[in-house]
Amino acid sequence: MLEFEQIKELIAQIDASSIGEVKIEAGASKITIKKSVPVKQVQYVTEEVAQPVIPTTASVENITHNQEKSTKTFEKESSFSTENTEEITSPMVGTFYHSSSPETPPFVKEGDMVKKGDVLCILEAMKLFNEIDAEMNGQIVKVLVGNGELVEYGQPLFLIKKD
């Protein structure tokens, strides 16, 4: 068993080191020494903070106009019939990913057949990854967003030809 002076010396050495806890067992005797971590006191200072910028109707109209313009441009440039096709749109603002990691293949590619509930992509918003599923059976006609692009709420992500 350690003597009192040895225990005091051990405590002083632990206090001076980066060790947080020591357990010593000698026969039937057990000693545990834990270093207490000082609690930081936080002082809150109130100050006037700028109000968040809320998009004006002009900027919202501009986003909507750009989405309509890109869809119309796509329809003009595409060589396939847009009959019986539907858009899969973004349910949120976030970052669009074709696959779960850079090393894995995309969930879907143009021409792939999908069933209702199949994962089409991932949208990341505030470090939360949300899988976007097919809303119907069909064929992916066009992927409208590039990997890693920021998407807006309601922005078209895919064109799917319904079965």
Give the fold, CATH level 3, of 81-162: OB fold (Dihydrolipoamide Acetyltransferase, E2P) (2.40.50)
Tens place of pLDDT for every residue, the chain, 163 residues? Answer: 677 788 788 788 877 777 777 788 877 778 887 776 554 444 444 455 555 555 555 545 555 544 554 445 444 444 455 678 899 999 999 999 999 888 999 999 999 999 999 999 999 988 889 999 998 999 999 999 999 999 999 999 999 998 8
Query: Are 131 and 107 in contact, with CB atoms under 8 Å apart?
Result: no
Q: Give the pTM.
A: 0.50
Going from N- to C-terminal start, the domains of the chain cover 4-34, 81-162
pLDDT on residue 44? 46
Task: Compute the Cα dihedral for 88, 91, 96, 99 and give only its sign.
Answer: negative
